[in-house]
Structure 1
Amino acid sequence: MVSFSLNGHPVTLEVPEEATLLQALRGPAGLSGPRFGCGTEQCGACMVLVDGTPRCACTLAAGAVTGRAVVTVEGLGTPEAPHPLQSAFLAEQAGQCGYCLSGILVSAAALLARDPAPEEAAIRTALEPHLCRCGSHNRILRAVSRAAAEMA
């Protein structure tokens, strides 16, 4: 059993001792936002926020988040009240296949929380751990900049 805050709500999940956070989120928690990509912290598809810090859920033990706050892309906003990043990504058409976007969105949210007006270099650095094979990089950068401007 592992107990933590998930997207602002307390949860207790029954998971095997060797389970990763990603397995707990996609299995017992029933979420589909964090995705399995590489399993080796090389692509960022599984990225979530743990106490506000981007972490790869594919290698993080589920037990390591006991008592901590975990936020996935599902916790950033709702269809009725999307996070400014979600709105900006739609407006800039920043996704193609979308496989990488949940991780990119949570990393961008962490960036904007600590730097509300990031320069392009800071955005590039924050998103460096993410692999996007569709070639949406320029639109993704524009979307993060747009969200920052709208949040100011």
Structure 2
Amino acid sequence: MSRQKGMSLVELVTCLVVIAVIGVLSVPYLKNTLRREYLNAEVRKIYSVLHLAKREAAKRNRPVVVQFEPDNFVAFEDGGVNGQGRGDWTRQPGETIVGENHVESGMRLTTNFANNRVRFKGSTWGSGGTICVWNKDQVYARVILSPIGRIRIAK
């Protein structure tokens, strides 16, 4: 008598049940991982725009302001009213946009900067502060700007 090769129906169903249980148990973990990665991506975008603004201020020898709103942020060369060269911390028509980005849906930004703005003047000295990015679960990550110009990410 020859041996039959293959799997029985019971073995096949058992394997499928084990795979289904593992899949169901891993969904919450994957969901949290995705939310955390979206949060980290937003923080890295802010970090990059702050570094870009700092470099552009030094390169152009003019102030560059990064303005934060709850759902977006923009960096622009601050030429002052009618381009007079004195920075007024506000975006005027015709001022060069250095970088901008929108925050993903369900996330929001908060800062402890005056008027939610920070300005780089081409030197390393400036104002320090913190930008917090919050997700739907009220979990946040921070970008910290020290008064001497160091920018870092903190969880």
Same-fold status (TM-score > 0.5): no
TM-score normalised by L of structure 2: 0.24
> Quick check: which has more Rg, 1 or 2?
2
**Which of structures 1 and 2 has the larger relative contact order (alpha carbons within 8 angstroms, sep 6+)?**
1
